[in-house]
Amino acid sequence: MTYLTETQHRRRWLRTSLLAVLAAGALAVGTIAAAPAAMGDEQLDLGPTLVETGTGPSGYAMTFRYQAPAGVEQVHIYGDWTYSVPENVTCDGCGDGRPPWEWQPGDVAATQWRTIPMELGDDGVWEVTVPLPAGTFRYAFTHDCTSAVATGCTLNYDPANPWEIFPQYPGAPGAVRSTTWVPENPDFPTYDTDYQRPVAAADLGTLESVRYPSPLSTNPVGVHDMVVYTPAGYDPDREQPYPTLYLSHGGGDHSTAWTMQGVAHYIVQNAIDERAASEMVIVSTDFNGLPGGNTGYVNELRNNVIPYMEQHYNVSAAAIDRAFAGFSAGGSRASTILYDHTDLFGYHAVWSAAPPAPSAEQIERMKNVEGEIMIGTGLQDRLGNIAVNQLARIEQLKAAGVALTDHHVPGGHTWHVWRPLLDFYIRDVIFDEDDDGVADSFDVCAATALPDVPTGDLRPNHYAATADGFVDAAGDVGYSLLEAGGCSGSQIIEAAGLGQGHVKHGIARGELENWIASVTD
């Protein structure tokens, strides 16, 4: 199978520019899994290499080079890059099953994965170049596997591109694979996934594997594992403690899933750097080895996980400063928390899971959630008919008077759905206490009330604040609320000690610009 590539010099330059970011990210983590001792000759140029093709469907491809053990006669690469027209996804695993080089506009990522054969070069390295749309992709290699979907075949991660944190205990579920990222080419638009881009070491916080005491845990006995990410610039002595986002994986995974597969640390750090999300600590939990099902997991959070985090990290002990989200089997656990344990979290998210019908008592609890509720799914999620059932449950909850945000994205039961759901959750739902669209970490003013209407006519070069930003007399937005630190015009006028004329005729452009400069320095 042959695809268009550029010169070897160009290929290596692109590989250096992308993988330097990935490698830099690995250097910043608290725990780095060691690669196998035999990595092969560095001159073999192993691992994934980004290639700019200049052709459709996406303008980019990834070249994978892998040195298999002696005696292997055929290597395939196995990745989550199968696509379909949305209406053809009629069941889990159904759809067009098209490979990525046949991607077309409007496609959704769908299950199931497919294998692609690699070719053995004269240098003893197996290689294939795969055109890919934008996004984060997981992949592994199979040896002498005859199944097109790798059924019954051992999966081998890429030793030139290992995960930063491996499963923490023997028998931990979830195959060890590798992850790579492809940017969107502006000349060949595919998906806007720039928010998933790897973060360089200088801008990344600390990612660490944490083992904590757990009397409830049966595997490992007496202790349990989680992955914790503290954001760049995390200060253990900061006067204002950090809010905390708790995440649950789905069935067949464990605590490394949200960072190693979901790249949650990249998604959150990118949003923080853009001042679109609050600075927060991420806790990726593990529900395996905890007896008692959903209730047992909630007991683990209440009795062990949350107390450990509050004792060892500078995180808030207030429920309003805690958010929870889970997908699939983790979404079932999120439903139990939302229905019966709303005291634990201010914010709740249930993804790719259809909650059961709530009782009247559970509905009342949801009506009194202090923060917000989000429910979302992949619109083509046919696993147990999740998409249809979840949408029906949302309408029932709304009809019962439960305030919630429903946000859905194209796709099936896949990480290509859960990553954008997380991005929406952190940017648009959680840790924005006055609900003005500005994350609490960057919000200078509390309890902003909008719109901020002047008592008289809005004068030329004067502005009033609305939910869309500061508008002039023509209604055109001139400055964003984020630029103004989440403050309305009246709040700026009061804080800056401006004259009452501003209250009547709006805040003058010069005064607004002075305020913006003062809160962004």
Do 353 and 458 have their domain in common? no
Task: Round to whole Å and give the CA distance between 130 and 116.
Answer: 9
Tens of pLDDT, residue by residue, the chain (521 residues):
333 333 333 333 344 334 434 433 333 333 222 233 344 445 789 999 999 999 999 999 999 999 999 999 999 999 999 999 999 999 999 999 999 999 999 999 988 889 999 999 999 999 999 999 999 999 999 999 999 999 999 999 999 999 999 999 888 888 789 999 999 999 999 999 999 999 998 999 999 999 999 999 999 999 999 999 999 999 999 999 999 999 999 999 999 999 999 999 999 999 999 999 999 999 999 999 999 999 999 999 999 999 999 999 999 999 999 999 999 999 999 999 999 999 999 999 999 999 999 999 999 999 999 999 999 999 999 999 999 999 999 999 999 999 999 999 999 999 999 999 999 999 999 999 999 999 999 999 989 999 988 888 999 999 999 999 999 999 999 999 999 999 999 999 999 999 888 889 999 999 999 999 999 76
Judgement on whether residues 413 and 454 belong to the same structural domain of the protein? no
Residues 216, 141 share a domain: no
Pairing assessment for the beta strands 347-351 and 373-376 based on DSSP bridges: parallel
Question: Does residue 507 form part of some domain?
Answer: yes
pLDDT, residue 446, reads 86
DSSP, residue by residue, 110-145: -S--EEEE-EE-TTS-EEEEEE--SEEEEEEEEES-
Q: Are residues 149 and 215 in the same domain?
A: no
Which residue among 406, 428, 450 closes a domain?
428
Measured in residues, the chain has a length of 521
CATH number at residue 63: 2.60.40.10
Quick check: is 50 in a domain? Answer: yes
Residue 424 is part of a domain; what is its CATH number? 3.40.50.1820
Same domain, 413 and 462: no
Q: How far apart are CA 283 and CA 431, in angstroms?
A: 16
**Angstrom distance (rounded) from CA 260 to CA 207:** 10
Q: Is there a single domain that holds both residue 148 and residue 54? A: yes
Domains in the chain: how many in total? 3
Q: 137 and 164, same structural domain? A: yes
User: Alpha-carbon distance 187 to 57, whole Å?
Assistant: 10
CA 450 to chain CA centroid, nearest Å: 30
Helix and strand numbers (H, E) in the chain are 11, 22
Same domain, 388 and 447: no
Q: Does the bond joining 159 to the residue before it have cis omega, within 30 degrees of 0?
A: no
Q: Does 1 map to a domain?
A: no
Instruction: Give the predicted TM-score (pTM) of the model.
Output: 0.90
Q: Name the domain boundary from 135, 165, 189.
A: 189
Residue 198 lies in a domain: no
Domain that holds residue 140: 8-189
What is the biggest distance separating any 2 CA atoms in the chain, rounded to whole angstroms?
84
Q: Is residue 415 situated within a structural domain?
A: yes
Alpha helices in 289-414 (DSSP H): 293-300, 306-312, 329-340, 360-367, 386-399
Q: What pLDDT was estimated at residue 59?
A: 97
Residue 298 near residue 336, CB atoms below 8 Å:
yes
How far, CA to CA in Å, does 219 sit from each of 33, 222, 404?
A: 21, 8, 36
Give Cα 429 distance to the centre of its chain.
14
One domain, residues 346 and 392: yes
Task: Decide which of 161, 189, 217 is a domain's last residue.
Answer: 189
Q: Is residue 391 part of a domain?
A: yes
Same domain, 320 and 401: yes
| 157 CB neighbour count, 10 Å cutoff | 21
Any domain includes 196? no
Contact of 327 with 251, CB cutoff 8 Å: no
158 falls within a domain:
yes
Amino acid 328: pLDDT: 98
Q: How far is CA 266 from CA 5, 138, 176, 411, 462, in A?
A: 29, 15, 19, 21, 39
Same domain, 456 and 404: no
Element (H, E) at 323: strand 322-327
Under 8 Å between Cβ of 473 and 460: yes
Are 419 and 181 in contact by the 8 Å Cβ rule? The answer is no
* Shared-domain flag, residues 165 and 275: no
